[in-house]
Structure 1
């Protein structure tokens, strides 16, 4: 078992510790093209073991993780891609929960549009290129070629607080992956096809629902889309200090 997963020891932290943690957080990006290099199961297990130290209300630990590699990954990719390409799929496949607001307002709509057009610009997709955008969105359902696909689910009985806990767990997965030289891409796009996912994974949709998907692997170093670096607001813009 990885030592990192054990309860903390009260040893003093060094500047090197701080730098390593900061680097793992700040170097995390949503990678959209991966190498086919396999990720050993032991590494995936270590990542999840460390991430399981994420906090959760009264230690409920509401996360469930489905790790797909090899043929199981390909089966899900094939089934969901076919559903995505089927005519009229928008009427047959609906998200189980609202990830985004029903009405967009500034500054959120401005940030959303900017990151979209920044990505499409890197890929050479111009406004109105619906076919190109459709094809790029379809790559979500191949986990952007990552050899490991993760599907995260939760029991429907759990409340809103457990979803907050889940976010901390997901961030822990991504940071632990970066600490091992791996990259990720959290993907809400999978949510629309929860019924297909449930059938492939054998989930009981009466009691369990898909939270999000995630690609895991090694970033393709020369892929232009992986040069995208999204902007972040300054601390002063979203923080109020009260003395």
Structure 2
């Protein structure tokens, strides 16, 4: 499978089978992803992988935290900026509605939508959960490098027949996870990722988000 084919095939999988992913396979994925671009070779990423009882413990932390505060924990790194402008607001709304349509959940069924959202904190049934940590002293450039690393990991997983879902939703319980993992103060947990084998029969995994055409985001200058 080419890089282009892998990139176009990858989707955010939101339903996984119970088939396990062993530590050796995960180590191989990380061993490849570590060759991602890194300005100044800082390699500003740290990964915490959980499975089995460790994953269950993390899921309990999220449940207990959100039962106390369903809106999540406040912080200085919100998932989305306040007052999201166009075209970003419409894009976010459209993918949300498409997702719930695949699940057969109407807009007025708030309880069902909340239950669907809560699946984030069970890694959508995936056997492995990954968390990405960065040093608080890092700037925007290093955050971009962390994103490149995550993208590389997702593509390598896809190549191996595995599936992933990048999960910024874990930012809603960032402070509780920081304490749970006993991270030092200078480290910040950014987000999570579900990793496993996709349940190909699940309707939600038929969802493919749209992308703007090249003409909408690129400007060509100086070409013949």
The TM-score bracket by the shorter chain reads over 0.9
Q: Does 1:146 align with 2:126?
A: yes
Shift of 1:234: 1.1
* CA-atom RMSD in angstroms: 1.3
Q: Residue in 1 aligned with 2:100? A: 120
Q: Does 1:177 align with 2:170?
A: no
Residue correspondence of structure 1 range 190-229 to structure 2 within 5 A: 190-204=170-184, 206-229=185-208
Residue correspondence of structure 1 range 1-243 to structure 2 within 5 A: 20-86=2-68, 88-90=69-71, 93-204=73-184, 206-243=185-222
What secondary structure sits across from 1:48 in the alignment?
A: helix
What secondary structure sits across from 1:103 in the alignment?
A: coil
State the 4+ residue runs in structure 1 displaced beyond 6 angstroms: none
- Contact (CA 8 Å) 2:79, 2:171: kept in 1 or not? no
Give 5+ residue unaligned stretches, structure 2.
none
Q: Deviations over 1:99-144 (max 9, x none)?
A: 3121122211111111000010111111121101110110000000
Shift of 1:89: 4.2
The number of equivalent residue pairs is 222
- Contact (CA 8 Å) 2:6, 2:159: kept in 1 or not? yes
Shift of 1:168: 0.6
Q: Higher Cα Rg: structure 1 or 2?
A: 1
Shift of 1:93: 1.4
Give 5+ residue unaligned stretches, structure 1.
1-18
Q: Give the distance between the partners of 1:61 and 1:167, measured in 2 at CA.
A: 11
Q: Give the distance between the partners of 1:155 and 1:105, measured in 2 at CA.
A: 29
Q: Give the distance between the partners of 1:48 and 1:42, measured in 2 at CA.
A: 10
User: Taking structure 1 as reference, are residues 96 and 48 closer, same or farther at Cα in structure 2, changes over 3 Å only?
Assistant: farther
